[in-house]
Chain A
Amino acid sequence: MLKEIIRGQEKAPIVMIEDNLDSSGVPLLRSFIRNMSQNVKLHLVTYEYNPQSLLCDFDSSAVQLHSVGDPLQWDGPAALHLGTDLHQYFESLPHSNEEFSVVIDCISRPIHHKSTSHMCRQIGMISRLPKLSQIVFMIHSDLHEMSTTCLLEHTASTGISILPLIDQTYTGLCSVLHKRQSGKITRLKEHYMLNASFDVIESEEFKPISQMLNIVSDAQPNPAANLTFNLSLSDKEKQDRSQLVLPYVHNKLKSNEGQVQISGAGAKIFYQPDEADDFDEEDPDEDLDI
């Protein structure tokens, strides 16, 4: 799912990347920038990071940089600062008739400066600009309350939350909440793998260890599979075995037959003590009052 979203095969008009101090979302953001700049003209707005560090060695000819280097305008009036209305800013840019996309490196700072609702409104308005194909932004979730990230999750069509990495063979682990325009909502955890140029090469659904153990136990090799002799039984052999009557085992039918014969003959026990028997003629239970 993540691979399709990054490569643009799955439509995701508003993408939010949530990261924290322990699990950075910058590699994934670089991957988005790389793929988006290959398709349409990209406007990269940087509040926190150095734009060159985000671009790495991509072909940045299709990327227009909007760096907020002087957020409070201490060095003089700036076109883009923390108080800038981003929607108006993008509206006023001279666009040709071609489509464009927007990436904002981190909206934590403008949220602190203004408010969450203001930023949600801004993102919503930018996403409705006629020629805009996609908007991607990142937020440091540990700098805000839960309500802020929830509010933004409602605004976004896709929320990617970076989780602590468990399996070191992958680049990272994230939870993806994707809302299709048809109304279908998908929520899943995925491992992703990036190459040296931050292109996503693989994304695979994350399976918890308990499930992985089940898979391992199911896939155990069968030692009786390649033997020269037969260790297992076929169904017919099992059926034949179940019908075999074993000797010296109590058999219901036989015991019934025996009883009929015994009752018909009026059986009696005749006992003749021999010399070895110590036969007591006196009744041993004589003293009992029965």
Chain B
Amino acid sequence: MFAELNNLLGWSQTQLPSETMCFVRETSDEGSLVLHHLMSLFLKANGGSVCIVGLAQSFTHYSSVATRLSLNLNKLKQDGRFVFVDAMKHIGEDTLVKCGIESAGGNDCWLNYHPDQPHSSIKGLFWHIKELLKNLNEKTVVIIDDVSILAALGLPVQDVVYFIEYLKKEVMGKRNTLAMLCHCTEGDNDMELLWRQLSYHSDVIFEVSCLQTGLSRDVHGEMKVIKKDSSLLPGKDNVKKVQFKISDRNVHFFALGLSAAVIGH
């Protein structure tokens, strides 16, 4: 949990975001820091729980990140406060079953894989998450890491948007929070269409990018945080732009051009 990010957004352990859709758009590799922050914020809060829909990383990855943030995911998992959905495995198995191939049948099952309807599994994934959410309480954040992988798997962008829409309806219906990350590469029209569509329905948008002037030892990247005005009136959004430096267990945020290295001189 990064206290400086909490200050920026007005969140705290006692004032968790609720009925909020957070969308992280990264063009560098540091976007996941927001997801890690949300994970630790909800797990450290009294009675908060987290559901991670993992597409980019395995449970071990999140477990090691959590250890650095003084959390024991295995224990929290046993307590029912942490749920990990291995979405890749789920989609894979679902696709094989739909193709009439038993996944437990042997090692050659993927060799016989014919992707007739690769996007049909997304509905199954939604139902799976929906079932899991029934056991979680009100203070829950559902984290999808990362959405762009679904599009990279060959799913049409529109199907990914529908999946997120259904998930949003389910999560918001229980006054919970939905957070997702989307990795964007410049010039990729499909990804651009995906993040634009998701941005329309998000309440808080994080745009994480590299430092424009190049690599730096003291500044690891820039983050633009857009908190949308609920009335959607033009020019009323709360936009903040900060730079950050990642240290071993924490992330420091500071105003543009005011890193410790600059002030020190």
Contacts and interface: CB of A to CB of B under 8 A. Distances in A.
Interface stretch (B39-47, B109-117, B158-166, B240-248): B158-166
Contacts of B128: none
B195 to A, nearest CB: 10
Nearest to A53: B230
A112 B199 CA distance: 17
Interface residues of B, number: 18
Interface in B195-254: 196-197, 199-201, 231-235
B201 A48 contact: yes
B234 A69 contact: no
Interface of B, helix, strand, loop or mixed by DSSP: helix
A74 B235 CA distance: 37
A143 interface: yes
A74 B158 contact: no
B200 A74 contact: no
B193 interface: yes
Interface in B151-184: 158, 162, 165-166, 169
A165 B229 CA distance: 15
A113 to B, nearest CB: 7
A24 B234 CA distance: 6
A27 B233 CA distance: 6
Contacts of A142: 196
Given A69-B169, A74-B126, A27 B234 contact: yes
A140 B198 CA distance: 12
Given A48-B201, A71-B162, A112-B158, A162 B234 contact: yes
B162 A24 contact: no
A23 B235 CA distance: 8
B196 A27 contact: no
Interface of B: 123, 126, 158, 162, 165-166, 169, 193, 196-197, 199-201, 231-235
Return the 6 tightest CB-CB contacts between A and B, nearest first: A26-B232, A24-B232, A165-B234, A165-B235, A172-B234, A112-B158
